[in-house]
Structure 1
């Protein structure tokens, strides 16, 4: 399965379009992670715990997107867009959301002469 942000697949011919596929993953972040991330923000640097959570959410969303495309008969998803958001869930904690969408397609390799 090819996953790409581009509208075409170089060197391949798209023969079928199956429509838009999408997936959302929402992960709850705990108070300790929020506190540590806030401290990191004050002194500068990267929050490894949030980065790990976002990476996991992205991988889950892409896996679900791939599964949806496969059930339609696609062998690629083109024009993929990823959106990241932090949602304040109240009480001092937040949730992380990754939304992914693209167009499920079937391609065939072009013959080279």
Structure 2
């Protein structure tokens, strides 16, 4: 599956647009990681626990979007965008969406 944030792919021609596909995940912060993040805020540095959480969330949301596109018969997802939002205290959603298409070589 070709996944790109571009609207077109050089050397490829869009032959069919299958519609919007999306994937999301809602994750809550781990209390222990949250405590360590608070300490990092005092001393500075990367919040590795949150970096890992976001990376895992992006991967899961992308897999869900890709599965939806495969179900539609797509071989590419173009114009991919990410969004985040706060759902509840300590929980956030990571949302990814794009256009499911069929592309062919020119």
Which range, TM-score by smaller chain?
over 0.9
Over alpha carbons, which structure has the higher Rg?
1
Q: What are the equivalent positions in structure 2 for 1:72-111 lying under 5 Å apart?
A: 72-89=72-89, 94-110=90-106
TM-score for the superposition, normalised by structure 2? 0.93
Residues 12-71 of structure 1: CA distance to partner in whole angstroms, max 9, x if unpaired? Answer: 000000010111111111211111112112211111111101100000000000000000
* 2:7 paired with 1:11: no
* 1:30-109 matches, cutoff 5 A: 30-89=30-89, 94-109=90-105
Q: How far 1:83 moved relative to its partner?
A: 1.3
8 Å contact kept, 1:54–1:96: no
The runs of 4+ residues in structure 1 deviating greater than 4 Å are none
> Could you tell which deviates more after superposition, 39-48 or 67-76?
39-48
| RMSD of aligned alpha carbons | 1.2
Find the aligned partners of 2:42 and 2:83 in 1 and give their Cα distance: 25
Distance in 2, Cα, partners of 1:14 & 1:100? 21
- TM-score, L = length of structure 1: 0.88
Give the total of aligned pairs.
Answer: 106
- Where do 5+ consecutive residues of structure 2 fail to align? none
Secondary structure at 1:19's aligned position in 2?
Answer: strand
Deviates more, 1:28-37 or 1:58-67: 28-37
Q: Which runs of 5+ in 1 are unaligned?
A: none
Give the Cα separation in 2 of the matches to 1:44 and 1:97. Answer: 25
Looking at structure 1, the residues matched to 44 and 18 of structure 2 have their Cα atoms a distance apart, in angstroms, of 45
